[in-house]
Amino acid sequence: MLLHDDPARAFMPYPAAEVPNAPSGPLSGLAMAVKDLFDVAGYPTSGGSPHLLALSGVKRQTASAAQKLLDAGARFVGKTITDELAFSLNGKNAHFGTPVNGGAPDRIPGGSSSGSASAVSNGLCDFALGSDTGGSVRGPANHCGLFGMRPTQARITLDHCVALAPSFDTCGLFARDGATFERVAAVLLGTDATPLGGTPRLLLAADAFAMLDVEVRGALAPVVKAIEGLLGEASLVEVAPEGFEPLYWAHRRLQAREAWQVHGPMIERYRPPLGPGIAERFEFARVVTDQEVGEAQEVRTRFRERFRQTVGEGVLLLPTMPDIAPLLTETEEALNTYRNTAINLLCLSGLSGLPQVSMPVASRMGAPLGLSVVGPAGSDASLVRLAARLG
């Protein structure tokens, strides 16, 4: 997509190259954008970093996830801006700018799949690929009023994609409406190994909802009631009986160690000027100790087993984010405080590997607010169908 076609500043301003797609197929007639972590033949891949862009060169092969969509008839319209090295939840890139949140233009779009969420929410494409490591699809979906999916870990191949933390990285998806979301997800996901039953048992993460301000709970309460009307009364469960803090630190330290293994050599060799927040996170990553990583792995193993047992064959209702998107004018300190609270919610799927879909079902102060459903491992396609029905 050329720059003058991009009023939302969602796309990287690359020279246009032809990207062939099938003349017909289940996604024929739909326009798609691809986060600039995924390779697309004919384009470089920046990873949101000028240094990675300089090292990239023009790619000769397209990432499998994107190719599958092209082969189904989707039309490629451009590569979207990502937060720098995908290591942020804000959507502000110090080098390439901040894409416009189509659901609340005075607020951050969320990251790191900021451009993809912006492009979809501003109607510049029908759907977009993103990636979700620590919340990089679910957060922007909440903020921009979109359906957004983080699949079961390793459900969708991530070849020819810039990594951040491989044991957490997933390929995600955005769409404005349930019908498109379901249509695209069917191509990406294929058939479930463990589909949900017709009316799955409904659970509600009581301790996660208790974390929210009363106004946020009030905005989500009618939606929860409506879902109970369809699926039956929700059983209250505790998803973090030992508290969220151990999960927060386990997620943060494991992700940081992997991020440093992936990008540390480039950072130490070239000393690139990293943007606000990104520099601090990589410095934290550099000094995480082996003992901290070992303890974090033990926490993840215990939590993964317990959380999967809690969800069982049911569906868990979970707040996607602590609130609506922060204003663009918020300080870096305020954004970091919001991020740290959000990680308590976002880390549950990351540590457990379970699929999560955020649905655009509520609003507050004129801005979108999402609600998520989490399902058993391998239930992704049926979870998407359920979310499309509920959303």
User: CA 372, CA 348: separation in Å to the nearest integer?
Assistant: 12
Is 136 annotated as catalytic?
yes
- The token pair at 264 is 């540390």
What b/e sequence results for 341-377 when a residue is b if at least 16 CB atoms lie within 10 Å of its CB, and e otherwise? bbbbbbbbbbbbbbbbbbbbbbeeeebbbbbbbbbbb
Do the Cβ atoms of 371 and 361 come closer than 8 Å? yes
CA 201 to chain centroid, in Å, comes to: 25
User: CA 208, CA 210: separation in Å to the nearest integer?
Assistant: 5
Is 35 annotated as catalytic?
yes
Identity of residue 116: S
Burial class (CB in 10 A: 0-12, 13-18, 19+), 387: buried
Identity of residue 207: D
User: CA 226, CA 242: separation in Å to the nearest integer?
Assistant: 30
Do the Cβ atoms of 50 and 73 come closer than 8 Å? no
Dihedral (Cα; 249, 345, 47, 186), 10-degree rounding: 140
Is 112 annotated as catalytic?
yes
| Nearest partner of 86 among 155, 151, 34, 163, judged by Cα | 163
| Nearest partner of 90 among 74, 107, 66, 112, judged by Cα | 112
Q: Which of 114, 116, 118, 136 is catalytic?
A: 136
User: CA 157, CA 161: separation in Å to the nearest integer?
Assistant: 9
User: CA 381, CA 215: separation in Å to the nearest integer?
Assistant: 32
Do the Cβ atoms of 142 and 99 come closer than 8 Å? no
Helix (H, G, I), strand (E, B) or coil at 298: helix
Q: At what angle do helices 214-231 and 380-390 cross, to 10 degrees?
A: 110
User: CA 84, CA 273: separation in Å to the nearest integer?
Assistant: 11
User: CA 126, CA 389: separation in Å to the nearest integer?
Assistant: 19
User: CA 361, CA 371: separation in Å to the nearest integer?
Assistant: 7
Q: Which of 46, 49, 88, 112 is catalytic?
A: 112
- The token pair at 44 is 């470089």
Annotated catalytic residues are 35, 112, 136
